[in-house]
Amino acid sequence: MENNASQDALLKRREFIQESGRKALGLAGLVLLTQCGSADDEPGAFNGSLSLLAPEGGSVLRGGLVFDITWQATGLSQLKLEYSSNQGQNWNLIASNLPVSAGSYAWTVPNEPLETVILRLSGVDNPAAEVQSPAPFKIRYNYILRETEFPALTTVGGFASVDISLLGSFIVFRTDSDYFALSRICTHAGCDVGWQAAQNQFVCPCHGSRYNAQGQVIQGPAPDPLAGLATEYEADLEAVLVFEV
Ligand code: FES
């Protein structure tokens, strides 16, 4: 009798161990399934595609003008567009709720000199969808001389003199076919040279240097010509843009 009782106990113990093992295996299988589940199945996962086509890394955008930012995307309906000029530490909103189907956004580029700018494009309906510029681009400051403010530039031979902190003092001339601009900062010690139209020369009030109308030194002590600035006529704005070369 004792042998039968101990065999029963042994049998029950085996069944208990086997049942516990089955339960343990079942639990492990459940964890394994969760761990192996595709990321696409998780809430917020992104199954589509998102890419930023323009601007390209290394390009130079002109401040104050419109640039078309372009993208390609699938699996999203609306996008948010931002830019950063400090390696992504801070983001400035450009536009939100942009329809993906538009494929582009006409961005009025901020008119300030920025050396390392990146864009971030993300899904409004799915924040897991995000892409950034693969490499930074630059923004060049433009000084915009509107003809309404500088009417002398609408006449051949006219000129306008400007002094602003981002470009220093400079002068813009209207020629018969174009415009050109020169810095008015003397290359000797930085005084502002004055344009003497009657003599067709720039004269420095500090130590007497003289430059011809093209900025070449014709009398020292100035060691170098006046620096040139780039110009461009923007018909849409009816303005002359001046910017660093
Ligand atoms: S600063 Fe112009 S000549 Fe010296």
Q: What is residue 82's predicted lDDT score, i.e. its pLDDT? A: 97
Reduced to 3 states (helix: H, G, I; strand: E, B; else coil), residue 213 is: coil
Specify whether the CB–CB gap between 111 and 164 falls below 8 A: no
Q: Which of 123, 140, 157 is the last residue of a domain?
A: 140
pLDDT per residue as tens digits for the range 186-197 = 999 999 999 998
Assess whether 159 and 96 both reside in one domain.
no
Q: What is residue 166's predicted lDDT score, i.e. its pLDDT? A: 80
Our mutation pick for probing the ligand 1 site, out of 188, 203, 219, 226, counting the most ligand atoms within 8 A of Cβ, is 188
Q: Does the structure show a pLDDT above 70 at 160?
A: yes
Assess whether 238 and 148 both reside in one domain.
yes
pLDDT band at 234 (very low <50, low <70, confident <90, very high): confident
Assess whether 208 and 128 both reside in one domain.
no
Give the pTM. Answer: 0.66
Q: Which of 112, 140, 168 is the last residue of a domain?
A: 140
Per-residue b/e over 169-208, b at no fewer than 16 CB within 10 Å? ebbbbbeeeebbbbbbbbbbeeebbebeeeeebbebeeee
Q: Which domain holds residue 150?
A: 143-243
Quick one: three-class SS letters along 86-107? CCCCCCEEEEEEEEHHHCEEEE
Q: C-alpha dihedral over 141, 58, 236, 113, to 10 degrees? A: -10
Assess whether 149 and 232 both reside in one domain.
yes
Give nearest CA residue, ligand 1 atom 1: 189
Distant-in-sequence, close-in-space partners of 58: CB < 8 Å, separation ≥ 6:
135, 136, 137
The CB of 186 under 6 Å from ligand 1? The reply is yes
- Residues of the chain with pLDDT > 90: what percent? 62
Assess whether 233 and 176 both reside in one domain.
yes
Assess whether 79 and 129 both reside in one domain.
yes
Q: What is residue 118's predicted lDDT score, i.e. its pLDDT? A: 97
pLDDT per residue as tens digits for the range 72-88 = 999 999 999 999 999 99
Sign of the dihedral defined by the CA atoms of residues 16, 18, 20, 23, in that order? negative
> The domain spanning residue 57 has which CATH number?
2.60.40.10
Asked if the structure places residue 75 within a domain, the reply is yes
Assess whether 131 and 92 both reside in one domain.
yes
Least confident of 31-35, 146-150, 213-217: 31-35
The CB of 79 under 6 Å from ligand 1? The reply is no
Asked if the structure places residue 210 within a domain, the reply is yes
More confident residue, 225 or 36: 225
**What is the rounded average pLDDT for all residues in the chain?**
82
pLDDT band at 37 (very low <50, low <70, confident <90, very high): very low
Give the whole-angstrom CA distance, residue 56 versus residue 70.
10
> Which parts of the chain fold into alpha helices (H)?
2-36
The CB of 239 under 6 Å from ligand 1? The reply is no
pLDDT band at 68 (very low <50, low <70, confident <90, very high): very high
Q: What is residue 243's predicted lDDT score, i.e. its pLDDT? A: 86
* Domain total in the chain: 2
Q: Which of 140, 171, 206 is the last residue of a domain?
A: 140
Our mutation pick for probing the ligand 1 site, out of 209, 217, 224, counting the most ligand atoms within 8 A of Cβ, is 209
